[in-house]
Amino acid sequence: MNKICSVIFLLFLIVLLFSCGSGPDKEEQVYVRIPIEYRKASSIKLSEFVESIDVVPLETTEDNLIGELGRIVFIDNKYYIKSTNGRQNAKIFVFNTDGNFLFKIDHRGVGPGEYIEMKDFQILQDSLLMTASNSDYKTNLYDLKGNFIKQLDFRYNIKEIQPLCDGKVVLYHSNLRELNMNAQTLLDTTCNVLSHFFKVDKVAEAKLTCQINANAFSVCDEKVYFNYPFCDTIYQIAGQKYSPAYYIDFGNKKHPEGLITEKDGILEIEAKVKRLESVMSLYTYDITSRFVYLGFDDFERNVYMSLYSLQTGKVFTGRTIIDDLYFPGNRMVLTHNNIAVNMDKEELLWHIEPRVLLEGYETTRNSINKEAWNAFCEKHPRLVSICSKLKEDDNPVLLRVKLKSF
């Protein structure tokens, strides 16, 4: 009898320990493990994950030269694209589905309806455009033409904006000490504050203050997901609570426990990571009904992508993308500037420099005979037409990549 009681008591302690984890949500932690294996020379063929690609050349004019391309939102058959020069001179360029330039939204300044810099933007309720500026703590609302509507009275250092399917909005910010260590603010449909949540400890606070990830949120089938720097877990929002949804298992390449402390700033964190031989950090991700898409890097800033099939559990990873569908043999080594960081439903919105297409186009045209080239032109008339007019100093080319099951 005493042995039975001891076993029961031991089981109770184990359950209690697991229920008191250090994550932001104390509910049962059920998640999908995604194993990541990689090699620096690894590559992925387009045929392994691409069903089709629609090429959208973004028109180049003197009034819409794209610098660093950030968030892309596709709505009402228009692409809203954030462009910056570093963190400065942020504008939003708007193109139609053919890539023709329509207009820009540019309100840089210090007056009403203006901003010094733009950290993020999003489109709310299919009719409002919200921008967040950290330099002057301005959060502005415009219509979809860029006409100023009003300024919201927040004093948050906003990192990212995420509209929810019910019309509410979540703000991800770094004003943790002022808001009882909560990293999220929930707004109602009229952008009034409802609550603050996602409470973290001081070690997570140190990670949250880093601004190195391309995106924190993803939305799929009305579910919202969240991840923050140096965190291998992707959380799912459920009301105002979070629970682990996916664990990115980098194996012996993950950050060691205790590496980052509450006293570390971004410089100390980066120095610690660089001293490690090969540690992986999640840089970008997106979730669809069939896939989990991941982009990550190592301490040498080598960039990789992985695709995980939610249907079969298969996963593949590569650092170089090899074209075996259009311009055979054309290669693109992934960097922080050319890895896809935007999606529209289940399609990757992948921006690449014209040089990548032009190299493949010229190599293919010069390496096959006239008969084969004529056949290629008949098979890919739009691609040939685009490449024949493209210049190396043009705006990036947008690829709508439809993913195939594997």
pTM exceeds 0.85 for this model: yes
Interatomic CA distance for residues 304 and 320, integer angstroms: 8
Q: Tell me the pLDDT tens digit for each residue of 209-233.
A: 777 799 999 999 889 999 999 899 9
3-state class (DSSP) for residue 314: coil
- Burial of 380: CB neighbours in 10 Å, binned 0-12, 13-18, 19+: middle
Contact 253, 279 (CB under 8 A): yes
- Element spanning 236, H or E: strand 233-238
Q: What is the pLDDT of residue 234?
A: 97
360 backbone dihedrals φ, ψ, rounded to 5°: -65, -40
Look at 19 and 93; give whichever has higher pLDDT. 93
- Pairing type for strands 320-322 and 43-45 reads parallel
Q: What is the pLDDT of residue 278?
A: 67
Q: What is the pLDDT of residue 1?
A: 47
Reference 339, options 358, 310, 317, 360; nearest CA is: 317
Read off the amino acid at residue 11. L
Which strands form 158-163's sheet, in the order they lie side by side?
158-163, 169-173, 182-187, 193-199
Reference 303, options 36, 34, 33, 40; nearest CA is: 40
23-403: CATH topology is Neuraminidase (2.120.10)
Q: Say if residue 43's pLDDT is above 60.
A: yes
Q: What is the pLDDT of residue 277?
A: 65
205 backbone dihedrals φ, ψ, rounded to 5°: -60, -40
| Top mean-pLDDT range of 48-52, 176-180, 266-270 | 48-52
Per-residue confidence at 87, pLDDT binned at 50, 70, 90? low
Contact 341, 399 (CB under 8 A): no
Q: Say if residue 354's pLDDT is above 70.
A: yes
Q: What is the pLDDT of residue 264?
A: 86
Contact 260, 312 (CB under 8 A): no
- Element spanning 204, H or E: helix 202-208
Contacts 24+ apart (CB under 8 A), 148-155: 148/107, 148/112, 148/113, 151/112, 151/113, 152/191, 154/185, 154/193
Reference 72, options 369, 360, 340, 401; nearest CA is: 340
Per-residue confidence at 3, pLDDT binned at 50, 70, 90? very low
